[in-house]
Amino acid sequence: MSFRLPKFPLLTLFHNPSSKVSTQALSLLRQASVTHKFDIDLIDSTTTAPTHQQVSSIVEYLGGGATGCGQILDTAQGAPKASTVGEVQKILEANPGYLRRPLVVDWNKGKAIIADPASRVNEMVKNVGEEE
Protein backbone atom coordinates (compact mmCIF):
# COMPACT_ATOMS: atom_id res chain seq x y z
CA MET A 1 0.00 0.00 0.00
CA SER A 2 1.21 3.48 -0.78
CA PHE A 3 2.63 5.73 1.94
CA ARG A 4 1.20 8.91 0.50
CA LEU A 5 -2.15 10.23 1.54
CA PRO A 6 -4.56 9.64 -1.33
CA LYS A 7 -6.34 12.62 -2.89
CA PHE A 8 -9.39 10.44 -3.38
CA PRO A 9 -10.83 7.40 -1.58
CA LEU A 10 -8.68 4.31 -2.08
CA LEU A 11 -9.88 0.86 -3.13
CA THR A 12 -7.51 -2.09 -3.03
CA LEU A 13 -7.69 -4.83 -5.64
CA PHE A 14 -6.02 -8.09 -4.74
CA HIS A 15 -5.40 -9.18 -8.31
CA ASN A 16 -4.30 -12.23 -10.28
CA PRO A 17 -2.96 -10.87 -13.59
CA SER A 18 -3.42 -14.24 -15.33
CA SER A 19 -7.12 -14.47 -14.41
CA LYS A 20 -9.63 -13.23 -16.98
CA VAL A 21 -12.15 -12.30 -14.26
CA SER A 22 -9.51 -10.41 -12.28
CA THR A 23 -8.36 -8.53 -15.39
CA GLN A 24 -11.99 -7.61 -16.17
CA ALA A 25 -12.48 -6.38 -12.59
CA LEU A 26 -9.37 -4.20 -12.88
CA SER A 27 -10.65 -2.75 -16.15
CA LEU A 28 -14.03 -1.95 -14.59
CA LEU A 29 -12.33 -0.36 -11.57
CA ARG A 30 -10.16 1.82 -13.80
CA GLN A 31 -13.19 2.97 -15.80
CA ALA A 32 -15.22 3.68 -12.66
CA SER A 33 -12.35 5.55 -10.97
CA VAL A 34 -12.70 8.35 -13.52
CA THR A 35 -16.39 8.90 -12.79
CA HIS A 36 -16.45 8.11 -9.09
CA LYS A 37 -13.08 9.70 -8.24
CA PHE A 38 -11.14 7.04 -6.34
CA ASP A 39 -7.61 5.67 -6.48
CA ILE A 40 -6.76 2.00 -6.96
CA ASP A 41 -4.14 0.18 -4.90
CA LEU A 42 -3.26 -2.82 -7.07
CA ILE A 43 -1.68 -5.83 -5.34
CA ASP A 44 -0.52 -8.89 -7.27
CA SER A 45 -1.80 -11.42 -4.78
CA THR A 46 -0.19 -14.37 -6.54
CA THR A 47 3.09 -13.26 -4.96
CA THR A 48 2.07 -10.93 -2.11
CA ALA A 49 -0.17 -12.06 0.72
CA PRO A 50 -2.29 -9.55 2.62
CA THR A 51 -0.89 -8.49 5.99
CA HIS A 52 -2.27 -9.92 9.23
CA GLN A 53 -4.29 -6.75 9.84
CA GLN A 54 -5.62 -6.78 6.28
CA VAL A 55 -6.71 -10.43 6.58
CA SER A 56 -8.46 -9.69 9.86
CA SER A 57 -10.29 -6.71 8.38
CA ILE A 58 -11.20 -8.48 5.13
CA VAL A 59 -12.65 -11.47 7.00
CA GLU A 60 -14.75 -9.05 9.07
CA TYR A 61 -15.87 -7.13 5.95
CA LEU A 62 -16.89 -10.39 4.23
CA GLY A 63 -19.17 -11.37 7.09
CA GLY A 64 -16.89 -12.15 10.00
CA GLY A 65 -16.13 -15.46 11.68
CA ALA A 66 -16.41 -18.68 9.74
CA THR A 67 -18.43 -16.92 7.00
CA GLY A 68 -15.64 -14.48 6.16
CA CYS A 69 -12.96 -17.13 6.60
CA GLY A 70 -14.80 -19.39 4.18
CA GLN A 71 -15.09 -16.68 1.53
CA ILE A 72 -11.51 -15.37 1.53
CA LEU A 73 -9.84 -18.69 0.61
CA ASP A 74 -10.11 -20.18 -2.86
CA THR A 75 -10.97 -23.82 -2.22
CA ALA A 76 -11.29 -24.37 -5.99
CA GLN A 77 -7.52 -23.81 -6.14
CA GLY A 78 -6.97 -26.39 -3.40
CA ALA A 79 -6.93 -24.09 -0.37
CA PRO A 80 -7.72 -25.88 2.88
CA LYS A 81 -10.73 -24.76 4.86
CA ALA A 82 -10.25 -22.38 7.77
CA SER A 83 -12.58 -21.24 10.51
CA THR A 84 -10.43 -18.61 12.25
CA VAL A 85 -8.51 -15.54 11.11
CA GLY A 86 -5.31 -17.12 12.47
CA GLU A 87 -5.81 -20.20 10.29
CA VAL A 88 -6.47 -18.03 7.24
CA GLN A 89 -3.31 -16.02 7.90
CA LYS A 90 -1.14 -19.15 8.18
CA ILE A 91 -2.58 -20.57 4.96
CA LEU A 92 -2.00 -17.34 3.02
CA GLU A 93 1.52 -16.89 4.38
CA ALA A 94 2.40 -20.35 3.09
CA ASN A 95 0.64 -19.84 -0.25
CA PRO A 96 -0.58 -16.35 -1.27
CA GLY A 97 -2.19 -17.94 -4.34
CA TYR A 98 -4.93 -19.37 -2.12
CA LEU A 99 -6.46 -15.91 -1.71
CA ARG A 100 -9.76 -15.78 -3.58
CA ARG A 101 -9.54 -13.15 -6.30
CA PRO A 102 -10.40 -10.69 -7.54
CA LEU A 103 -10.94 -9.23 -4.09
CA VAL A 104 -11.87 -5.54 -3.84
CA VAL A 105 -11.64 -3.74 -0.51
CA ASP A 106 -12.92 -0.31 0.47
CA TRP A 107 -11.00 0.20 3.73
CA ASN A 108 -12.76 3.49 4.56
CA LYS A 109 -16.25 2.01 4.35
CA GLY A 110 -15.34 -1.38 5.76
CA LYS A 111 -16.55 -3.32 2.72
CA ALA A 112 -15.07 -6.14 0.67
CA ILE A 113 -16.33 -8.21 -2.22
CA ILE A 114 -15.13 -11.12 -4.28
CA ALA A 115 -15.64 -9.63 -7.74
CA ASP A 116 -16.61 -12.83 -9.50
CA PRO A 117 -18.35 -12.07 -11.74
CA ALA A 118 -16.36 -8.91 -12.43
CA SER A 119 -19.58 -6.90 -12.79
CA ARG A 120 -19.88 -6.96 -8.97
CA VAL A 121 -17.34 -4.11 -9.06
CA ASN A 122 -20.07 -1.78 -10.31
CA GLU A 123 -22.08 -2.18 -7.10
CA MET A 124 -18.96 -1.70 -4.96
CA VAL A 125 -17.95 1.60 -6.57
CA LYS A 126 -21.40 3.15 -6.82
CA ASN A 127 -21.14 5.08 -3.54
CA VAL A 128 -17.38 5.38 -3.08
CA GLY A 129 -16.49 8.60 -1.31
CA GLU A 130 -20.03 9.37 -0.16
CA GLU A 131 -20.80 9.60 3.54
CA GLU A 132 -23.05 6.88 4.87
Tell me how many domains the chain contains: 2
Could you tell me how far CA 76 lies from the centroid of its own chain?
17
Same domain, 53 and 76: yes
Same domain, 94 and 105: no
Containing structural domain, residue 80:
48-98
- Say what the pLDDT of residue 130 is: 66
Q: Give the Å distances, CA to CA, from 89 to 17, 18, 50, 66, 93.
A: 22, 23, 8, 13, 6
3-state secondary structure at position 131: coil
Could you tell me how far CA 79 lies from the centroid of its own chain?
17
Same domain, 53 and 84: yes
pTM of the entire predicted model: 0.89
CATH of the domain at 24: 3.40.30
Q: What phi and psi values does residue 42 have, to the nearest 5 degrees? A: -100, 120
Same domain, 85 and 123: no
Q: What is the pLDDT of residues 2-45, one digit of tens each?
A: 555 557 889 999 999 999 999 999 999 999 999 888 999 999 98
